[in-house]
Each structure stands twice: as structure tokens, then as C-alpha cells.
Structure 1
Amino acid sequence: MTKAQKALLLAGTGLFAVAQPAFAQTPQAASADGATEDVITVTARKREENLIDVPLPVSVATAAQLARDQIYNVTDLQRITPALEISQTSGGETNGGGRLRGLGTGVFNPSVAPSVALVVDQVPVGNLNFPQIFDLAQVEVLRGPQGTLFGQGASAGVINMTTVAPTTDRIKSSVAVDYANKGTGGSEVGELVLRSAINLPLGDDAAIRVAAQYKRETGLQRSKTTGRENVIEDYGVRARVLLRPSERVTVNLIGEYAKEVQDGQTFFAIAIAPNGTTPFGPPGGTIGGISTGAYTSPTGCNVVITQRAEEYCEDIPTFMTLNTGGISGIIDWELNDNLTLTSVTGYRERGFTQYTRDFSRLTGAPAARQEKAQEDSRGFNQELRLAYTGSSLDVVGGVYYNDFRFNRKPLGAGPYAFGNNLQGNRTGFSVCTAAGFFCPVPTSFTIEQTTNRTIAVFTDATLKLGDQFNIFGGLRYSDYKNLTLTGVNTLVPTTAFTTTDSNLSGRIGVSYRPNAGTNIYASYSRGYKPPAVGSNPAGALFQLLPESADTFELGAKFGISRFQLAANVFYTKLKNFQSQTSVFVGTALVSQPLNVPSVTSKGFELTIQGRILPGLSVNGGYQYNDITFPTGYVGDDGGNLGGTQFLNAPKHKFTLSTDYAVPFGDTVEGFLNANLVYKSEVLLASRADPRYRFPAHELINLGIGIRGRGEAGWSASIFVRNLTKSREPTAFLASTFAGQADGGIRAWPVAGLTARVVGVRAGFDF
């Protein structure tokens, strides 16, 4: 029996074993609206509903689960549900890095809309995301096209995040700390996380909540050239204000700012030694051997090459910063008992500064770098929607407007000496020796200005045909326009490319409720992702075709005592998947966007959530996803990838989050929590070489400690993330030497995913 078959059997057997006793028991009486004793509430359809009432595949992680599983950044979210994979690398990824059922955005270009929309407090973040997250009340992961209710970039699904809201009942505050020291208790990374929040009532009709997080990570990587360990430092602060000017009007105002500093975090460290056999250099030498020597020999920088991807060479250390800030306002006006008007306004800015970004990790040889580059983005969203709730009809409809602007420019006020190759004077991308006396690819800077806007009209409705049958569906009409301007070694653009498109998408489905605790549904939906702009190796601009996705769903949800079970099968046919390939430009390996003609994703999902025994809560899921490259598809290395499992898409994935508590009297209890992830083989680059397939593996995270019961809000524990030291990176990239692929592989490591973290944590609520 294969590992994948074992995982499938384990998932199915585990769910059956958990569910079987509950089926034998008499289910608890449900309320009139079908809710069981422990209700899981979601806003997947822009209104508060019991999860079991929503005829869509939705995974939910509560605030308690997010805290115990140490979900601190967007990459961590892939541990909460098997459908989600996150492939973020340097700078947090322009397009978010999210993939649902294997479908996501594989193009690092600001004109490309994300396939998986990231929505925070009803505001689409789009290409203005920040990797760190904090003070969350809930995360909902919606699979399949969601354009009838969510903004631009929801063709594959939505990550719907809600932050903790202020309340008017009393003053509340909390503080928590996580600490891990590299080398102590087997920890391979140092980590300090400080979190705090305070809620202040401002009378009976107003309140404010201020939350903040500081995170410092050290020692994930180390430069053998300088002896310094890298440091990633970030902090964020958010203020939420609640106002109720009247009984029927509620206003939420939100402002936030966050910043991240990456000092010494190299771009893909060498993880698998070069093995090229192309003759190169001295008689009898090979490019693989010479390249290996450049890293590992005493005349090189003496790196130890392991899949941990810890050590690297450099002549000039990398230093980058990322910052975001935004404000938003949500106004809900209850026009009467059945009709509510909602306005959602959001403005957000994002800045990514690359003082020096080293791509090659070589010493004494020409190395690829980006220097003195600033990328500034800003976006404005406005949504106005009307929601009607009646005895036989629920309808949400509205209009949506988005304006996004991106500007890549030289860092500083100038004047700029474009084309200067000398160290300290380079502005732009180059492949040069450190001093700049030899440059196979001379320094050049490409400015880019991208402006796009989306106008959409949408509606989503549920028609209730008696007590058992519902018909649901909706439509969305989108009008899109993008203008991209570029120029090389100039502040004035010399090339312009305009892209326009419009589209009608939507969904239709039916649900059957044989009883209050059961929901059986089937649906068809059409997803849409607008066109984008790409550039070829010569710098010429061209259009990436829009994506379209046809998705069929068949599923069922069951409320059993204190937990819910769900199962669904899915089939998605996607046309013109927006992706990219790696090609050589001179001696540098660069990315070129392209459309993959057709991709099909099909499979099934199982989930369980709730309390299955006194003191034991679980949130688990399993996904089988068969998604492959189309027949004859050629990978970046020229190999045939046709029929191969798709990029960043394990065929089998199992996730489980549990918390088990044992009382030690009336005021204290002990607890054990676990977050387990199993993945079958994962392809981490579009290459036929089998070494780019990371093998099947498990990720085990544990915590054990004590905490107060009831109103005594305190806890203390010991935690370990990546107990078995799995070495899965977030991505692989081919290694090059002297302008040729040398057979080596570079990796992007992540703390807790590639390296083990062991530490202590404590928290207090007042």
C-alpha cells in the first residue's frame, strides 16, 4: 500500500470512527433554524448564517484554533484546511500566493489579479497584501468561483478573514508572548512574538479596540561570507472603532499599519547540490563540479549544502523592507426589518523597497542583483450592496468599484546614473562582480506604471421552495481596463499597452434539507479572471488571456450533536491558466508569463469540526485532488510534464487541529493540542526533473500546558512546530552557474515548515 493510499485510508477511517458513535446516539434537538447546540457561524454569503445552512464548501478556523496553531502569517493558513496551499516567497508575493484545489496565481506581476481573493473585514486586499496577520476572530476558506458576492480576484475561491471587533460591554485587554531560542530544546530558529489588544467601551453606543503584534525571527539562514544570521522583523497595529448613531445604523471604522524588515534573507539558498555534466572550464571538469566548488570548497565560501537551505554565499548582503497601511469604513443601515443597505469603503497602500537583493549567492563571480528599487502600490475599493431577507426569498445585490495603481521606480530622489556598474552606484538589475568591473548583464532599470480599474454589478439570491428545497444562484457582470507603461533606463515611459475586457459569470444550484441537521446541495458556477500584461525576454509587452473556470459541486453537510461533518465532490475545467516559465536572458534566469491552455481539477473533500467528546475539539479535513498539466505541456527544463500532477498541488492532503483539556479542579486545566498536516508528493517547480518533486511527508506541531478555567484567562505552555524536522520549502528554483543550469536546486525555507521551532508561550486576559 502506498503512502497516499494509507493517508486516504487513515482519513476515511478516522472520520468514520469519530462519527460512528454519534450516529448511534440520539442527536440533540435542533432549534427552529436548524442550528445544533454548538453553532458555527459564517459570513460566506455576506450575511451571518449557520455553516450547515450554506450550500457551499467552506472551511472555518476560529480565533481559538488560530491562536493554538500559531497562525501568524498568510503562509501558516495552509495548515488550517487541506484545500489551501500558500507559496509566498520574498516580499510576500504581489498576488498573495494562495492556491485552492491547485488553482492560484503563478505570475509575479502587479497587473495580474489573484485567483484566490484575500478579503479582510469585507475589503478585498487584492495585490496589496501583507504576509503577517494578527488579532483575527475567524478565517473562512471558500472553494470554487465566488464572483457573485466577492470582488475582483475570486475565480478559484476566497480567504475571508475577520478581525476581532470592539464591544460595548466592558473593558478587556490581553497580552501574550511566544519565545524560542535557536539551539535551545532543538529549535533551529529563534523567534519572539508579542501580541496585545485592548477593548474600551465609549458609552452604550461606541467602542474602540486597538491590537498590535511584534515578531522577530532570527537564524533561519546564515551567510558564510559574513558570519551573520538573517533577521526578519515585523510589526503591525490596528484600531477598530464601533459607532451606533441610531438603533438601525452601525458604523465600523478600521485603520492599520504594518512593516517588515528582511536583513540577510537570501533569495533561494542552494539546497540540492549541482550535478550538471556539461563540460566546462578545466580539462575533465563539469559545470556541476565547478559550481559545487564555488559553494563548498575552501576557496569558495565553504557552504554545507542541505535541504535545510540554511547556509549561503554573498558578496553584498540583502536588505529589503515591506510596509502597508490602510483605512476602511463599513456602514450598515437597516432600512426595515427585512432590508439592509451596506457600504464598504477601503483604501490601502503598499511599499516594497529593495535596497540590495542578491539572487545568485556567489562570491568573487558575477552575481545577479536588484538594487535601489522601490515598488509603490495603492488601491481604492467601494462596494454598495442591498440585502433583503424574507420568508421565501433572500437576495443580495450591489455594485463594486476597484482602482489599483502600481509604480516601480528608482529608490531615492535622484539624479540617477542609469547604467553605472560600480558597486554602490548601481540602480536596477545586473549580473556583475561585486566591484562591478565585469558585468555579463550590465545594470539596467525598467520602470513600470500599471493602472487598472474594475466596475462590477452583482447579485446572489436564494429562493425557498417550502421547508426542504432551495434554489440559489447569482450573476456578475465585470468591466475591466488595464494600462501598463514601461521604459528602460529612463523616468519617462516609452512603451504603453492597454487591455480591456468584460465578462458575465455566475452560479446556479439547488439544496435539499430533509431535516434541520442535513443539507444536500449541487451547483454549477462560472469563474472569471481578467486579462493581464506580460513581457517577453526582449522587454516587449503582450496580453495574457483572461481565465475562465467551469466548476461543478455536489456535497452534503450533517449536524450531529456538537459537531458537523461535510463531504463534497468537485470538478473544475479552467481555460487559459495564467502562469509563467523561466528562461535565460544572457546569463540570468528570468520569468516570462504565459497561458496554460487548459487545466482540470477534480476530486473530493471530507471535513469534521466541533466537539466530539467532553474536552476534545477537532477541526480536520482530507482532500483528494487530481489536477494535471495538459497533454504535451513542456516544462522549464524542456521535459514533458503532460499528465503530471500540477504545481504546488498535492494529490492527497490531510489536516487536523485538536485541543484536549483535562480539569485540575475548578479553576485550572491541563491541555494538549496538535496541528497535523500530511501531504503526498508536491511538485515545487515546472520541471520534469524528479528532484523537483518534494516527497510525501508529515508536519507535526504540538503544544502542552496549563490554563485557567472560566473567567480566569491565562495560559502557559511549551510548543514545537515541525517536530520531525521536515524540510519542505515553499518553492524550488533551478540553480545556475556562469549562465548555464548546473543541475543544482535552490529552495526558499520557512520557519516551522522547513526548520523546527521549539519554545514557550504565555498569555493573559484581563
Structure 2
Amino acid sequence: MSMQRNRRFLTGSAGLALAILANPAFAADAAPQAGATTPEPGEIIVTAQRRAEKVTEVPISITVADSAQLERQQIDTVGDLARIAPSLEINTAAGQSTGGGGSIRGIGTQTFSAGAVPSVGIVVDQVSQGNANISDLFDVARVEVLKGPQGTLFGLTTSAGVINITTNKPEFGVFSLRMRTEMSGGGVAGSLFGDQVVQGVMNIPLAPTAALRISGFSNTRQGPDYDLTTRQYDANDTFGFRGHLLWEPNDALTVNLIGDYSRTRTTNGGDFFTFVKADGANLNPVVPFPLPDNVAANLASCGITPGFGNRNFCSAANSFVDRNETGGVSLQLDYKTEPFTITSITAYRTSLESGYGAASNVFRADPLELQVFNGPVNHPIYLLTQELRVSSPANQLIEYTAGLFFSSQIQHAAAETTDVFIHPAPGVLIPVNLGGTGEYRVTDTSGAIFGQATIHATPKLRLIVGGRYTKDNLRLGTTADAIPASTNSYTALDVNKFSWKLGAQYDVAARTMVYGTVTRGFKGGQISNPSGEVPHVIQPEVPTAYELGLKSTLFRSWVLDTNLFYEKVQNFQAQNCTSNAVGSLSCAQTNIDGVKTRGAEINLFGKVTQNLSLNTGFIWAKATYPAGFRGTDGSDLGNTQLANSPEYKFTMSGEYSVPVSQTVNGFLAADTIWKSRVSYEQTSVAQSTFGPHWTVGGRVGVRTADSRFTVAVFARNLFNVHEPILFQSGFPYNGASNIGAFYGPNGFRQVGLSLDGKF
């Protein structure tokens, strides 16, 4: 979208919004959601324990963001969720295969390993997403960030925590429409890239006890990376939809049928490597043509100036298109029969990729002597899950949830190769075949029986006991020629594991509760399949976590959630990425025994007054490698902070509204994050860390008194702080002399206009 078109669109949209605001008679009153738990005024209801409960009564540290907070902070993707909770970080680097790559309290999994599963599970409408999770967030009612191992009730992909997402349910007896947009253009009003987000919702009543809700979105982004050769931003376009049918044929049975689909189309390289450091002449070690390669001079010849925040690249070979399609369907049946409720959830999800997965030209710099080109990628994922559980009524002597769970995830990778092309002389290309990873198929089958109970020992004291027995079977099969010195290689890992939870909670006052828990978690193993090497087993990750917490309701409905925690992880699953002799990025997975995280966290969220909403939090999370641990550069990293994990983090989001007339209110919103220094690799290279920094944004606007129509001007990363997604030293070689970075939209300033209308 050109700058002129951006200006015309933004101007026209502003005029439309003002016209809508001047005619509030178009609005219709909203009806309460069918089947939803109705809280008392000011109470926050969550489903962190697989049942609807007040957040202040759940003995788990939780950060909650409702739809209003998500929209004012413009949380449009899973990657944006790191802005709502101080304990949560999400790495969205290209090619990650672990369902979002999140970490909580410093513990998480970022890997390219086949069949690896996340440490932070993403659950949408009670369905585990595995590695086929949604990417964009739209029509969401609530997000709960559950900290610490959650394996007892949520399964084997939750050893660090859970991101529990609940979308809006259909409403009975109401036909309604809603449209919301967020519009920005590169070069318009100081915005350094363009992004146009459009979301729509339609609610259709089908019968007195049946309704259909259809929601969709389009997210078209230009940049932030910019190709100096083609004079174009990289393009990242995503669209998708969700259909939700709610039917209550009688008082006992509730049926929820949900289907979703999204497609992402990336051109011109997408969010991929750019050079942030390149020092002088380096000897290209490639055999048989070792060449002097002056990286800095070659980059300068096409206009690239390496430095922190550099988003420019120059490559004519990145005009390919990469597509990723993700979707699924789930059927949930809830049947109430005295004295319990039976729930069955059957779900199937897929993720299909066709293209290159990342930039075909890894360095995206045509003048370099060394060129590395990725081959095509096709990694389809198929996930089938079935859960059957029984839940007792609330407020009984013994409240319980028990059930059975089965999952089967299959990832099949077609053969791929990575070729290196060397320039021994002008106009001459010498190919070197690295062999790639070959064709393989990973199957991960898991079955479990689980249960958790809360025993009301006294009116104020409650005891918690829970357990889960999991049988996990992981298989990697490859073709005969996929791995050197191996014929029809077939690697397997079979695990039987018991995870558990014990605890107690006590009501010290009418609106204050304290609790203590100890939890043993579990995350399944991996099979590492590095390029050109024989596969090997990565053992399951087993954390043991201790937590003491306090929850209270302050003022009108402001929730205080504070805790102390200590966690030690047996066989922490880590990934080491280094640049090999020919400049290609090589990543290997490994277990690290004795990783620890400990610290304290405080969160405050909800309404302070009728006009002021404030969500804020601070965490100290000392997450460290064990004593004597050696990094990929051979340095001693023992007792230092884990990669991708800030030791300190502060978040704050708030909105204050005031009436400006009888029909219109004005509002001012702020959104800020502070992080301590973060290292992005397991080395002592100072240049691959990012120092302490603030990221500040906000919105100012007006809305009708009935909240039907809103228009606002917004800014994200107002001061243009270039926080990366990752750094990689040795890019393409010589360690700290050359460093590459991934930058995403959160690393550059964005200014735009948001519009919202409900009909």
C-alpha cells in the first residue's frame, strides 16, 4: 500500500468514524452471553482449574487480561501477549516449531527440533493447540497466563505454564455486527512501517437456544524489514476466520462446535536476518576456495549500514512466496447429570506450510562472497486430541475434576536441502550440497489419566491434591539416505511419568486468601535430528516448583496477585545455534540438568475506580544455568541468566475516561514495559545482548457513552526502541565480528488510527 493510498484510507476512515459517532442511534443493546458464568459486579471469573471460579479463589498465580485490555493494548497476535504479563516472554522467530515459543519465569522452549513440544502450552477454548496453534487473536473474551507447571489438569506441554485463551461465545436471541480496525502506513505520521488490521464479528440467532457466531480478521503488514534492491518492504499478510455454534437442546446438554482457519502469506523474506554488526575483512573458511570477504565493505556497496536497529537488506533472490495454513475443528459436549457434569472435547488441528519457511537467501546480501540458500520446506502437522472428564458441583465438601486424555501429533517433513554457493571469481558460482535433514516423520502419541480435588477441611481452609499419569510414545522415522551411516533409521522414546500437585489455601479475610503449593510437572522428550548427523534422544523435562502466594481484592475490584516461587528443572531442554564452517546456521538440542528459576512477582489488575482501569506487574525471576555450564563459545555461563530471559520486567497498562458530553466520553490510555538486559544466545558475547530499556505506547480518543463506537489515535513503541526477536553471532562467521538480528514489528515505532463500531 503506497503512502498516498495510506493517507487517503486514514482520512476517509476518520471521516466515517466521526459520522458514526454523531449518530449513536444505530447502536443496539448487548445481551449477556449464553452459557457464561455471571459474576457479581467487579468479580473476575477464570477457568484456570477447568471450572469457572473467581480469580481470587484459585491457588495459582494468574495474570488476566479481558477483551477491553487486549484491544486497548492492541494485542493482535500471540507474540503480542508478552506485553500483558511480566512473567511471560514469547519468541516468534521464523521456523520455530514449538507452538509459540513462550517462556514463563525464564523457563521455555525455542527449538527447530522435529516433534518438540512447548514448555508453555497454548489452550484455546479448552483445546490444546500443540504445534498447530493460532497466530492472530481476534474476538477474544479473556486471556489467562497461568504460571508454573500445570500438567495435572492441562497435560504434557505445560511444564512452565499455560496461556489459556477463551473466545467470545454466541449470544441467544440477538443479531449483532461489529467491526474494528487499526490502520497505519509506513512514513505516515512517524510510523516506520505499515499495518492494516481489520476484524469483524457477526452473531446470528438460529433458535431460542441456538446461535452462531462468525468472526474473521485480516492483518496486512508492510515491513519493518526493507529491501534496498527492490525498494520494497517485506510483506506479511494473514487472514482467517472462526465459526462457533452454541446449542442448548435442553437444560442438561450444551453443545459447542468450533472451527477456525488462517493463512499467512510472506513475501520478500519476511521478518528475517539483518546485519547489526560487521567488522572489517574476514577470511572465508570455505573449502576449496578460502576467500577474503570484507563483509562491511560488501554490505556498504549496496547501501547497508550495520548497526542496532538496522532493518535494511539487499537481495534480488527473495521474491518467493511462503504460505502457512493452520486450522482445526472441535466439538465440546457438556452434560449435567446429578451429582456431576460430564465433558467431552474432541479436536483436530493441522498446520500446512508450503514455501521456504524463512528467507531463501539466508544473509539477504547479494554482494557477499559467501551465499547460503535454503531449499523448500514442507512440514505438515496433524494433531488429534480427545478429552473426557467429570467435574463435581462447586461449594461441596470435596470438589473434583477427573478424566482421561489422548493426543496424537504427527509431523511429516518432505526432503529439503541447503546449498552453499561460493563466488571464487566474478560471475562464477560453485555449489556445495550440505545434505539437509532429509525426509522424516515424527509421531508423538500420549495417553493420560488425571484428577485434582479441593477438600474443604474447614470453612476457611482448603486442601489441594492432584495427579496425572502419562504414557508418552515418540517416534522418528527417516528414509534410507536421510542420515549418514544409517539405514532406515528409526529412533524412539517411550516414557511413563507421574506428575502431581499438593497444596493448601486459607481465607485470612473476606476478600483475602493465601496459598502454598508444590508441583511436579512433565514435558515429553524430543528427538534431535541435526543436519547430517545421526538422531539422538533429548530426555523429558521434569520441573519441581514451590509457590507461596496471596490474593486479595482492593478498592472497587482491583485484584492483587503476589507470590514467591522456586523451581528446579531436571533435563531442561535447550537449543544451541552456531554458525558452522560454511556460514550456515546449525542448531542442536540438548538437556541441561539443574536449571533453576526463583524470585517474586506482584500483579494488580482490574478497575481501581469506575473510570480508571489499571493492570500492572513486576517480576524478579533469577533463572540460571547450573554451575560449570559451558556456552557454545566455550565460556563459563554457570549461575548466569538463561538466554531469552530478563531477570527483571515491569508492565503497566491503564485507561482513564471522562465524560465530554452526555453522549460522548474521552479517554487516555498508556502502555509501557521495562526490561533488564537480555541475552539472546548461550555465549558470553556482549554484543548479542540487549540492554535495559523502556517501551512506551498509548491511545487517546473518544467513544460513545454506550461504548458502541470508538475512534482513537494510537502509538506503539513511541520512542523507537529497537528490541530484537533474537541476535546471532558468527553471522556469517568469525564470532563476535559479525552479528545478525531478527526484528519484528515490536522493534519499531508505529502510529495509526483505530476505529470500532458495534451494530
User: TM-score with structure 2 length normalisation?
Assistant: 0.90
State the 1:580 CA deviation. Answer: 1.4
State the 1:488 CA deviation. Answer: 7.1
Q: Does 1:163 align with 2:171?
A: no
Counterpart position of 1:680: 676
Equivalent residue in structure 2 for 1:483, among 465, 475, 489? 475
Rounded Cα–Cα distance in structure 2 between residues aligned with 1:456 and 1:73: 31
Q: Does 1:600 align with 2:603?
A: no
Alignment of 1:551-562 (within 5 A): 551-562=545-556
Counterpart position of 2:351: 350
Equivalent residue in structure 1 for 2:404, among 399, 407, 416? 399
Rounded Cα–Cα distance in structure 1 between residues aligned with 2:94 and 2:408: 25
Equivalent residue in structure 2 for 1:362, among 361, 365, 384? 365
Counterpart position of 2:308: 307
Rounded Cα–Cα distance in structure 2 between residues aligned with 1:573 and 1:353: 39
Q: Deviations over 1:245-302 (max 9, x none)?
A: 2111000000111000111135643342223786679xxxx99981111211x2xx22
Equivalent residue in structure 1 for 2:459, among 467, 470, 493? 467
Q: Tell me: CA distance 1:445–1:483, structure 2 relative to 1, closer, same or farther (3 Å).
A: closer
Rounded Cα–Cα distance in structure 1 between residues aligned with 2:731 and 2:95: 22
* Structure 1 contact 149–460 (Cα < 8 Å) conserved: yes
Q: Structure 1: which amino acid aligns with 2:410? A: R
Q: Structure 1: which amino acid aligns with 2:337? A: L
Counterpart position of 1:720: 715
State the 1:319 CA deviation. Answer: 3.0
Rounded Cα–Cα distance in structure 2 between residues aligned with 1:369 and 1:122: 41
State the 1:94 CA deviation. Answer: 3.5
Counterpart position of 1:250: 254
Counterpart position of 2:321: 319
Counterpart position of 1:524: 518
Rounded Cα–Cα distance in structure 2 between residues aligned with 1:754 and 1:288: 33
State the 1:433 CA deviation. Answer: 5.1
Counterpart position of 1:765: 758
Rounded Cα–Cα distance in structure 1 between residues aligned with 2:210 and 2:377: 44
Q: Structure 1: which amino acid aligns with 2:507? A: R
Rounded Cα–Cα distance in structure 1 between residues aligned with 2:326 and 2:690: 33
Alignment of 1:68-467 (within 5 A): 68-91=72-95, 93-266=97-270, 268-275=272-279, 290-296=294-300, 298=301, 301-317=302-318, 318-336=320-338, 338-355=339-356, 357-364=360-367, 365-389=369-393, 390-410=395-415, 428-432=417-421, 437-442=429-434, 444=436, 446-467=438-459
Equivalent residue in structure 1 for 2:748, among 730, 755, 760? 755
Q: Deviations over 1:102-154 (max 9, x none)?
A: 00113222321211010000000011123222111100000011111112301
Rounded Cα–Cα distance in structure 1 between residues aligned with 2:744 and 2:331: 34
Counterpart position of 2:704: 708
Q: Tell me: CA distance 1:38–1:367, structure 2 relative to 1, closer, same or farther (3 Å).
A: same
State the 1:71 CA deviation. Answer: 0.6
State the 1:89 CA deviation. Answer: 1.1
Counterpart position of 1:638: 634
Rounded Cα–Cα distance in structure 1 between residues aligned with 2:214 and 2:531: 47
Rounded Cα–Cα distance in structure 2 between residues aligned with 1:602 and 1:561: 30
* Structure 2 contact 717–748 (Cα < 8 Å) conserved: yes
State the 1:525 CA deviation. Answer: 0.3
Over the matched positions of the two proteins, sequence identity in percent amounts to 29
Which secondary structure does the structure 2 equivalent of 1:149 belong to?
helix
Alignment of 1:513-592 (within 5 A): 513-536=507-530, 538-562=532-556, 563-587=558-582, 588-592=584-588
State the 1:448 CA deviation. Answer: 1.4
Q: Structure 2: which amino acid aligns with 1:579? A: A
Q: Structure 2: which amino acid aligns with 1:261? A: R
State the 1:596 CA deviation. Answer: 1.2
Which secondary structure does the structure 2 equivalent of 1:746 belong to?
strand
Counterpart position of 1:27: none
* Structure 1 contact 366–438 (Cα < 8 Å) conserved: no
Rounded Cα–Cα distance in structure 2 between residues aligned with 1:99 and 1:242: 34
State the 1:377 CA deviation. Answer: 0.7
Q: Structure 1: which amino acid aligns with 2:614? A: V
State the 1:320 CA deviation. Answer: 1.3
* More off after superposition, 200-209 vs 633-642: 633-642
Rounded Cα–Cα distance in structure 2 between residues aligned with 1:409 and 1:542: 20
Rounded Cα–Cα distance in structure 1 between residues aligned with 2:748 and 2:291: 30
User: TM-score with structure 1 length normalisation?
Assistant: 0.89
Q: Tell me: CA distance 1:432–1:552, structure 2 relative to 1, closer, same or farther (3 Å).
A: same
Rounded Cα–Cα distance in structure 2 between residues aligned with 1:594 and 1:92: 16
Q: Structure 1: which amino acid aligns with 2:566? A: Y
Counterpart position of 1:23: none
Rounded Cα–Cα distance in structure 2 between residues aligned with 1:445 and 1:402: 26
Rounded Cα–Cα distance in structure 2 between residues aligned with 1:612 and 1:353: 49
State the 1:91 CA deviation. Answer: 4.6
Q: Does 1:512 align with 2:542?
A: no
State the 1:445 CA deviation. Answer: 5.7
Rounded Cα–Cα distance in structure 1 between residues aligned with 2:38 and 2:181: 40
Which secondary structure does the structure 1 equivalent of 2:381 belong to?
strand
* Structure 1 contact 43–49 (Cα < 8 Å) conserved: yes
Rounded Cα–Cα distance in structure 1 between residues aligned with 2:606 and 2:624: 34
Rounded Cα–Cα distance in structure 1 between residues aligned with 2:620 and 2:335: 43
Counterpart position of 1:6: none
Q: Does 1:669 align with 2:674?
A: no
* Structure 1 contact 85–99 (Cα < 8 Å) conserved: yes
Instruction: Report the number of matched residues.
Output: 707
Rounded Cα–Cα distance in structure 1 between residues aligned with 2:497 and 2:632: 32
* Structure 1 contact 274–288 (Cα < 8 Å) conserved: no
* More off after superposition, 193-202 vs 684-693: 684-693
* Structure 1 contact 36–559 (Cα < 8 Å) conserved: no
* Structure 1 contact 141–157 (Cα < 8 Å) conserved: yes
State the 1:36 CA deviation. Answer: 6.8
State the 1:665 CA deviation. Answer: 2.3
Q: Tell me: CA distance 1:70–1:316, structure 2 relative to 1, closer, same or farther (3 Å).
A: same
Counterpart position of 1:497: 491
* Structure 1 contact 107–578 (Cα < 8 Å) conserved: no
Q: Deviations over 1:609-660 (max 9, x none)?
A: 1221331011111101111122222222222222221111111101111011
Rounded Cα–Cα distance in structure 2 between residues aligned with 1:264 and 1:584: 23
State the 1:227 CA deviation. Answer: 2.3
Q: Tell me: CA distance 1:382–1:278, structure 2 relative to 1, closer, same or farther (3 Å).
A: same
State the 1:516 CA deviation. Answer: 2.3
Q: Structure 2: which amino acid aligns with 1:361? A: R
Rounded Cα–Cα distance in structure 2 between residues aligned with 1:406 and 1:306: 38
Unaligned residue ranges in structure 1 (runs of 5+): 1-32, 411-426
Q: Structure 2: which amino acid aligns with 1:645? A: Q
Rounded Cα–Cα distance in structure 2 between residues aligned with 1:579 and 1:436: 40
Q: Tell me: CA distance 1:267–1:719, structure 2 relative to 1, closer, same or farther (3 Å).
A: closer
* Structure 2 contact 281–294 (Cα < 8 Å) conserved: no
Which secondary structure does the structure 2 equivalent of 1:529 belong to?
coil
Rounded Cα–Cα distance in structure 2 between residues aligned with 1:685 and 1:693: 8
Rounded Cα–Cα distance in structure 2 between residues aligned with 1:316 and 1:302: 17
Rounded Cα–Cα distance in structure 2 between residues aligned with 1:158 and 1:287: 49
Rounded Cα–Cα distance in structure 2 between residues aligned with 1:577 and 1:248: 45
Q: Does 1:696 align with 2:689?
A: no
Q: Deviations over 1:526-553 (max 9, x none)?
A: 0111121013554201100111111000
